[in-house]
Structure 1
């Protein structure tokens, strides 16, 4: 990155050309390695410094004043920023993409190998981080932190989704749940389902949670086909993606 930036010191670009150069060339250099490994924060800070210094320019061998913060540079243009990528966030997003592939392709060689090595007796989302874990596995768990913030469970029989710790109620995060009655920590959503009727146990739901949250729960659809719960990505303008857990 340093070499690419300094090769243009004798060929100044316009402001627009400089922006395109930084986004299309400089930011693309670490993209491949960031897709597989967690890059140390110190390296990301070096990337950030190199990019920011070149954007604001140099004069007489000294860098010019940085008139706006890095947070402003990385904010989207619809928010008034310039849309440069934050390298730490980008790194985590690329690793989260690898985690998503492990979820959607559980029979791939990579997924089967990692399962046999690190989580043979549980799901990927519950996989531990042993002290002897490799750099690859630590990187995947780093991306998993972000993935867990975005995925959402769809309800089938409710036996795989953790009632108090998984994200399964649209618009309600797990930390917002404060049950009125005692619910075991490891309880699943099946605790709130009437198996005979194949729907929500309305009385239990209303007894367990406040009215606002209870109404949200009762609006969550239960799969008519039954079967296992499934993982989905919340609906966006790009569509909704679903995958069977396990």
Structure 2
């Protein structure tokens, strides 16, 4: 499960086998279904038993493998910008399938700000900038344009005129280091 993308039909069949095992009275006898399998798959805190949805678990394991491969094969570049290629191996195709999950879950930690696109990347905790109407300063592309290079502080006036008030406050709360560091994703 951690190396290959399993077909959804196979995941569904495996979940059916687990459900039958869970609900049967004796070998070969059907039991009573006290609640839906979907409810059993919810977390224990939510009243379920914490069973995993196998298709989602498969993608999560592949995303973990992608992080390992990124550290080994993409130490100085971005795995998320990688291409599938012309004739990829089954393993690479499977791991590449988890790329969207990784992309949705990663957020940039601001360093220099030169690698982070203001309007396209996730860099403000708890905020998505897609669909937000750009205000006056639409020429700003990277986050480095919002940072005063000499003082290493946010350019408060520029941020307040560029973003809605709530988002501007969230940006101003993001800590900046005194010494320039590279941006990285967490």
Work out the CA distance in 1 between the residues paired with 2:100 and 2:37. 24
Q: Does 1:66 find its partner at 2:33?
A: yes
Q: Deviations over 1:146-189 (max 9, x none)?
A: 222332211111011121222211111243643223636x9221
Greater fraction of residues in strand: 1
Change (3 A) 1:170 1:60: closer
Q: Unmatched 5+ residue regions in structure 2?
A: none
RMSD: 2.6
Q: Does 1:126 find its partner at 2:93?
A: no
CA-CA distance at 1:130 after TM superposition: 4.0
- Select the residue among 128, 132, 138 that pairs with 1:173: 128
Q: Does 1:80 find its partner at 2:47?
A: yes
Q: Tell me how many residue pairs correspond in the alignment.
A: 186
Q: Which runs of 4+ in 1 moved over 4 A?
A: 58-62
Work out the CA distance in 2 between the residues paired with 1:138 and 1:206. 43
- Select the residue among 194, 198, 203 that pairs with 2:148: 194
Partner of 1:164: 119
Q: Does 1:146 find its partner at 2:113?
A: no
Work out the CA distance in 1 between the residues paired with 2:148 and 2:129. 22
CA-CA distance at 1:56 after TM superposition: 1.1
**What secondary structure is seen at the aligned counterpart in 1 of 2:141?**
coil
Partner of 1:38: 5
Q: 140-149 or 210-219: which moved more?
A: 140-149
With the length of structure 2 as denominator, give the TM-score of the two structures.
0.86
Q: Which has the higher contact order (CA 8 A, sep 6+)?
A: 2
5 Å-filtered alignment, 1:2-21, equals none
Q: Does 1:90 find its partner at 2:57?
A: yes
CA-CA distance at 1:65 after TM superposition: 4.8
CA-CA distance at 1:70 after TM superposition: 2.3
Work out the CA distance in 1 between the residues paired with 2:94 and 2:27. 41
Partner of 1:26: none
The 8 Å contact of residues 155 and 230 in structure 1, kept in 2 or not, is answered as: yes
Change (3 A) 1:194 1:71: same
With the length of structure 1 as denominator, give the TM-score of the two structures.
0.67
